[in-house]
Amino acid sequence: MAGVFGHPGYARFWAADTVSAFGTYVTTVALPIVAIATLRATDAEVGLINGARWAPYLLFGLLAGVMADRYRRRPILVVTDLARAVLLALIASLALTGMLTVPALMLLVAVFGVMSLLYEAAHQSYLPGLVPTAALTRANARMEQSASLAQTTGPFLGGSLVAAVGAPAAMVVDAVSYLLSGLLLATIRRNEPVPHPGRRDLGRELREGLAWVYRHPVLAPYAVTLHARFLFASVASTVFTLFVVRGLDPGLPPDRAAFGLGVVLAVGGVGAVVGTSLSHVAGRWGAGRAIVVERVVEPLGWTLVALAVTGTAGWVMVGVAQFLIWLVLGVSGPNEMGYRQAVTPDRLQGRMNATIRSLNWGMLTVGAPVGGLLAQYIGYRPAIWIGVAGMAVAATAAALSPLRNARHPEPTPPPEPAVVHG
């Protein structure tokens, strides 16, 4: 670990990401409670709010990738972190003063999504400039480990804060975390030259990014099956929050249900910590096999949610399910990111990441509202079963594709020194 942190700028980059991750998991609990308890939103409205968060990824994701390749990435990271701090503080203020409405929350969440989109396109593309290719999987694993550690405590903290001071006030913690993250990133002094000066053709740049992903023999099946996985996982995860807060223990007040949700998500965080700790070992199987294992096991975890009974036993079942789901996601995540970054030239990093990520998260624009509607009209469990079936089909397609044989590229050895004959 000391070797990875020895690369200039990486330690602050990691610290900023870790601080932000802790706050984000507070909002993961607090934001749905703002909608459900403060605004009395219906299941369908909760799905629309979740969809608004991810709509910018579908609408502007490819443009964000072009920006991350055209401009310096660190300034983008700093500005978007500070902007997100302001937006969360505004949501909390409006909720505390009784001025927040469902349409206003959707609008603010959508603007927040634009800032997150720009941040993530630059974030994933900035890391390869801080560490060498051979260290990318390990560097991603360190960041995944800290994010997973945040996941084990952030939801618990979020649930506790919601129970103690209310959901709007709890969101202020996340606003502060974005502020600190932006200030940390601003102190990185590693030189970052302006990429690719000269004339630029937006259309050509967009086509080039799309072609790199969807014509690549491994990235293409990886991306397409991942998009499908995100679509059906977003259905399941949207319904999951509603199920835990409203259906798992119907007599529980919303604030106590929020605390329970935080505990369950924290258990998932423990699974993610274990998974990321094993990701480097799993990478020896080959990146493709690690990814395929995750795709196959994840719907099994969601099956356990769909089968959960009510009451205490049900809480145990959904906790075990979250542990299993995040365990395999933790194993796969660093291998996925390391492979993507290692096989992609630097000039295409922003567009590659934004192409894949924008359509991944764009699927939530569709899946989250669909999940809310399914929950409202056919019930929580049938809606989760639909998500399970879709993820299982995507997993089968991934397992039968060239993705299963993908391996991280071997580092290129340095050239032999020239022999000078005297």
DSSP string, 112-167: HHHHHHHHHHHHHHHGGGTS-GGGHHHHHHHHHHHHHHHHHHHHHHHHHHHHHH-H
pLDDT tens, residue by residue, 335-354: 888 888 888 887 788 788 77
Closest among 178, 58, 171 to 113, alpha carbons compared: 58
pLDDT tens, residue by residue, 77-102: 999 999 999 999 999 999 999 999 99
Closest among 117, 113, 119, 122 to 88, alpha carbons compared: 113
- Does residue 155 have a pLDDT over 80? no
Domain CATH for 156: 1.20.1250.20
- Does residue 254 have a pLDDT over 60? yes
Q: Is residue 350 part of a domain?
A: yes
Question: Token digits for 382?
Answer: 């049938």
pLDDT band at 294 (very low <50, low <70, confident <90, very high): very high
Higher pLDDT, 110 or 333: 110
- Does residue 156 have a pLDDT over 90? no
pLDDT band at 305 (very low <50, low <70, confident <90, very high): very high
What does the pLDDT read at residue 197? 53
Q: Is residue 40 part of a domain?
A: yes
In degrees, to the nearest 5, what angle opens at C-alpha 239 toward C-alphas 236 and 245? 135
Q: Is residue 195 part of a domain?
A: no
This prediction's pTM:
0.70
Buried b (16+ CB within 10 A) or exposed e, 270-302: bbbbbbbebbeebbeebbbbbbbbbbbbbbbbb
Alpha carbon distance 402, 366 (integer Å): 28
Q: Is residue 309 part of a domain?
A: yes
Q: Is residue 417 part of a domain?
A: no
pLDDT band at 323 (very low <50, low <70, confident <90, very high): very high
Q: Is residue 62 part of a domain?
A: yes
Residues 209-217 have a mean pLDDT of 90
Treating both helix axes as pointing N-terminal to C-terminal, what angle do 312-343 and 136-165 enclose, rounded to 10 degrees?
A: 150
Residues 246-250 have a mean pLDDT of 81
What does the pLDDT read at residue 195? 64
Domain range spanning residue 353?
2-189+203-405
Q: Is residue 10 part of a domain?
A: yes
Alpha carbon distance 375, 238 (integer Å): 9
pLDDT band at 2 (very low <50, low <70, confident <90, very high): low
pLDDT tens, residue by residue, 44-65: 888 888 888 888 888 887 787 7
Alpha carbon distance 419, 422 (integer Å): 10
Residues 182-193 have a mean pLDDT of 83
What is the share, in percent, of the chain residues with pLDDT greater than 90?
A: 32
Q: Is residue 277 part of a domain?
A: yes
Number of domains in the chain: 1
Contact assessment for residue 148 and residue 330, using Cβ atoms and an 8 Å cutoff:
yes
